[in-house]
Structure 1
Amino acid sequence: MAINKDKNGQTNSINQVRYGCALGALHSVTAIPGAMPIAHCGPGCVDKQYTSLAFYNGFQGGGYAGGSVTPSDNLGENEVIFGGEKKLSELISATLKIMEADLFVVLNGCIGEIVGDDVSSVVSKFQEKNVPIVYAETGGFKGNNFIGHEIITEAIIEQYVDKYAVDKDKKIKGLINVWSELPFQNTFWRGDLLELKRVIEGAGFQVNILFGNGSKGIEEWKTIPNAQFNLVVSPWMGLSTAKYLEKKYNQPYLHIPVLPIGAGQTAEFLHQIVAFAGLDITHVDEFIKQEEKEYYYYLEHFTDFYAEYWWGLPATYAVVGDSIYNLAINKFLVNQLGLIPGKQIITDKAPEKYREAIAKEYAHLAEDVATTVEFVEDGYIVGEILRKTDFGHKPPIIFGTTWERDTAKALNGNIVEIGFPASYEVVLNKTYIGYRGALTLLENIFTAAISKSA
């Protein structure tokens, strides 16, 4: 099959896609305890997003509101011609009778947006009856699920939080809103957000983690305006929300682009937060001391293995995945393990305006270690880049996805799946960040290396 290319050699299609469409961010709704998405879209849209993002990606499952549970009106030819507002109204009414939720979020898909359905008008009639419901315009052509996530987040804040929050002008010192990983897209988001909350609370803060089992659900969202500041832990996703909240509620924000993995990165991460908040460092230093005591206990015993097998372990690596995990894994591998960066490829279609700043982070992974990063979405091109990379005389270790398994075999290397799709991982609450997650990551890296897992 011929593939058309533009003057820069870029194709007009994507092979081995690595994210969902904007509607796929319905999983951001299901990640909020007590929230229920309602999809205004064509037949199969919800199922396709679930199968890719929540099933063949760590087999995370749909839970109370995801998967086959999510209400959808499955728009057809009749709605394309005559509009689907009536059908949406009927679906919302039926959902309110059958499903229990603290908040309902209507997501408008491609068909509804293209034919011009006035979803706002339909939803407003229910809002006038004090039904806890909001809407978000998440047509697939708006972008991927990273963009959809921010659309949904701001819709909930604008239409629900702003209406029901108590004493919005009151600020609670030490309360932080955290904006970080994309639920379900980031395979290990559940465990990661729990560990992120644990270490920040250990440093003496209150945390609105907002998504996942560690969140108090909608009641927690209502306190978003009361936070002392917003914390963005990501190279780019969440920045739009933080800037929006800065204008809306006069909340400052702290942007830390690197998700912390391991003792050094986590200690630096916590010190940055404490300094920004203007708190005394005594408490955080005591917490860090206790965490590092446990962390290095395990590393001390790990060194017996490392000293014995170092000659057979990989020395170079490549990371292929979302920008948040790509950068975090790189920092850890260089600073904690002393591995040599080979090729780094970011696949999440990071907006152009953020790419220069992201690339600069790779220019100083450590004091004397730098590398470059490429932004590539097409899986075929990713494979070609990896095959042409000189990894030295030892087989490399590839941190990537299921799509990279064949490439790793061709390079006689090892693979650790760290992102979507991860269909050789069953994930419950595994984490790769912080103190505890770094230990798990070490286990997986070197188990893959000595077993030559395929």
Structure 2
Amino acid sequence: MTNTKNVEKSNSIEQVRYGCAIGAMHSAFAIPRVIPITHCGPGCADKQTSNISFYNGFQGGGYGGASVVPSTNIHEKEVIFGGEDRLRKLIESSFKVLDADLFVVMTGCIPDTVGDDVGAVVSEFQDRNLPVVYAETGGFKGNNFIGHELVTEAIINQYVGDYKGPLKKGLVNVWSLLPYHNTFWRGDLTEIKRILEGVGFEVNILFGHESSGVSEWKNIKKAQFNLVLSPWLGLKTAEHLKKKYGQPYLHIPTIPIGAKETSSFLRKVVDFAGIDKNKAEEFIEKEERKYYEYLEDFSDFYAEYWWGLPAKFAVVGDSAYNLAVTKFLINQLGLIPAKQIITDNPPERYRDLIKEQYKNIAEDVSTDVEFEEDSYAIHDKLRKTDFGHKPPIIFGTTWERDLAKELKGFIVEIGFPASYEVVISKSYIGYRGALTLLEKIYTTIVSASA
């Protein structure tokens, strides 16, 4: 969509940085052997796939995504007469043709606007004990972050069901990164599960290759607590689970990158759960020793400054990675924050909490953060930022590549869309991911300087 030059008066968004609510179909097929069924206009599902899982790390669609996703592809006829019968036939056919443990019916703008009773159609199949749920995810409900929590709540309410039994000590449900939208979610969730298991937890990671699929979701209700590891995404789900199952939750806004943050994170979770601290400390000590041995090797390069390394940086991206990367760059590398811009449009009720994290980003460092979705406005802010006399480094997206050249700086793509990254299992978080991030940063700088 073309933007006007008067950013303050324009309601348009240039170079969008998220999908619409039905884009949360990615959250459905991020669960092993779960397939979404989209009740929407022709092309809606395909466009979401192209944007979120293809031109964003070329991640692929997995077992139940991309071209596998059934769609009603409704037209003018369904707008006038309704599309319930078309949806009913599609669900019936999907059960016959596709092998899935659970189907998630998701709606687009048209059926939500004309008033199709999707719940009534789906209940016909639920009454036959068939594994299917539905979520109303028309685009006017919000972006794919909002859609994600609509999908998770639908699965919990309609499939996981009620529970009045005991909670299992040491079992934790993890609510963190948005599948597929966060380019590195698969590797990141793998690392989160690894380190939590390392200190003694049993982990329901819920999404990705480390999840057991629907059996793990059925196990949600037995967990001792829910861990929300993000600035805001997952809080609504955790609050719902607290009411539904009486489960407490622990909210840690900063996803840990590097030894200092990761060890601190693990100790907080261990303290909250009351599990064996000795086992946890043994794991932490082992991981820290490895981490700092590698960092010592890296320090020879870092200390020389042969390549005119940048001193100031900007981060442009969703709140989870923005906060995590900013904190790591300041605390681990001593870089100076010049501009931080969050692009995922967090609900207003969470924004003060997010701002507070930046006010206490390090012991002696405080910085501001801005919320902006429009790339025209974002790039205008970056052009006006004082990066000093050294080349800046921008942690952003494909939309910032030309701007980085214009500013004679460096670009590291860390979020949607990342069209110059091919991502399979890469992670930038935890102990191991931090080392990968360091490699990425300074390989980018050295190769650009050659």
Into which bin does the TM-score normalised by the smaller protein fall?
A: over 0.9
Corresponding residue pairs, total: 449
User: What's 1:262 paired with?
Assistant: 258
Tell me, in whole angstroms, the C-alpha distance in 1 between the residues paired with 2:166 and 2:80.
49
Tell which deviates more after alignment, 292-301 or 224-233. 292-301
Displacement of 1:11 in angstroms is 2.0
Tell me, in whole angstroms, the C-alpha distance in 2 between the residues paired with 1:103 and 1:248.
22
Asked if residue 410 in structure 1 is aligned to residue 411 in structure 2, the reply is no
Q: Deviations over 1:368-416 (max 9, x none)?
A: 1111000000001111100110001101100000000011111110000
> 1:424 pairs with 400, 420, 426, which one?
420
Q: Is the 8 A contact 2:221 2:245 kept in 1?
A: yes
**Aligned AA for 1:389?**
T
- TM normalised by structure 2 equals 0.98
Asked if residue 227 in structure 1 is aligned to residue 223 in structure 2, the reply is yes
Tell me, in whole angstroms, the C-alpha distance in 1 between the residues paired with 2:177 and 2:164.
26
Tell me, in whole angstroms, the C-alpha distance in 1 between the residues paired with 2:319 and 2:306.
29
Q: Is the 8 A contact 1:5 1:12 kept in 2?
A: no
User: Unaligned 5+ residue runs, structure 1?
Assistant: none
**Aligned AA for 1:91?**
L
User: What's 2:119 paired with?
Assistant: 120
Q: Deviations over 1:42-70 (max 9, x none)?
A: 00000000000000000001121111110
User: What's 1:244 paired with?
Assistant: 240
**Aligned AA for 1:85?**
E
Tell me, in whole angstroms, the C-alpha distance in 1 between the residues paired with 2:392 and 2:117.
53
SS in 2 for 1:312: coil
**Aligned AA for 2:97?**
I
1:303-342 correspondence runs (5 A)? 303-309=299-305, 312-342=308-338
Percent of residue pairs bearing the same amino acid type: 66
Displacement of 1:453 in angstroms is 7.9
Tell me, in whole angstroms, the C-alpha distance in 2 between the residues paired with 1:295 and 1:425.
25
**Aligned AA for 2:246?**
N
Asked if residue 343 in structure 1 is aligned to residue 339 in structure 2, the reply is yes
Tell me, in whole angstroms, the C-alpha distance in 2 between the residues paired with 1:280 and 1:378.
47
User: What's 2:172 paired with?
Assistant: 176
Q: Deviations over 1:218-253 (max 9, x none)?
A: 000001010000000000010000000000000000
Tell me, in whole angstroms, the C-alpha distance in 2 between the residues paired with 1:214 and 1:157.
20
Instruction: Provide closer, same or farther for how the CA distance between residues 348 and 117 of structure 1 changes in structure 2, counting only shifts above 3 A.
Output: same
SS in 2 for 1:284: helix
User: What's 1:33 paired with?
Assistant: 32
User: What's 2:57 paired with?
Assistant: 58
User: What's 1:190 paired with?
Assistant: 186
User: Unaligned 5+ residue runs, structure 2?
Assistant: none
Asked if residue 156 in structure 1 is aligned to residue 152 in structure 2, the reply is no
Q: Deviations over 1:94-116 (max 9, x none)?
A: 11110000000000111110000
User: What's 1:130 paired with?
Assistant: 129
Tell me, in whole angstroms, the C-alpha distance in 2 between the residues paired with 1:301 and 1:433.
20
Q: Is the 8 A contact 2:106 2:137 kept in 1?
A: yes
Instruction: Provide closer, same or farther for how the CA distance between residues 124 and 4 of structure 1 changes in structure 2, counting only shifts above 3 A.
Output: farther
Displacement of 1:309 in angstroms is 2.5
Q: Is the 8 A contact 2:3 2:376 kept in 1?
A: no
SS in 1 for 2:133: strand
- TM normalised by structure 1 equals 0.97
Instruction: Provide closer, same or farther for how the CA distance between residues 136 and 293 of structure 1 changes in structure 2, counting only shifts above 3 A.
Output: same
Tell me, in whole angstroms, the C-alpha distance in 2 between the residues paired with 1:442 and 1:5.
38
Q: Is the 8 A contact 1:168 1:226 kept in 2?
A: no
Instruction: Provide closer, same or farther for how the CA distance between residues 310 and 259 of structure 1 changes in structure 2, counting only shifts above 3 A.
Output: farther
Q: Deviations over 1:342-390 (max 9, x none)?
A: 0000000011111111011111111111110000000011111001100
Instruction: Provide closer, same or farther for how the CA distance between residues 330 and 122 of structure 1 changes in structure 2, counting only shifts above 3 A.
Output: same
Q: Deviations over 1:121-146 (max 9, x none)?
A: 10000001110000000001100000
Asked if residue 446 in structure 1 is aligned to residue 442 in structure 2, the reply is yes
Displacement of 1:297 in angstroms is 1.2
Q: Is the 8 A contact 2:3 2:13 kept in 1?
A: no
User: What's 1:16 paired with?
Assistant: 15
Displacement of 1:451 in angstroms is 1.3
Tell me, in whole angstroms, the C-alpha distance in 2 between the residues paired with 1:367 and 1:2.
40
Instruction: Provide closer, same or farther for how the CA distance between residues 191 and 297 of structure 1 changes in structure 2, counting only shifts above 3 A.
Output: same
Tell me, in whole angstroms, the C-alpha distance in 1 between the residues paired with 2:313 and 2:400.
13
Q: Is the 8 A contact 1:230 1:242 kept in 2?
A: yes
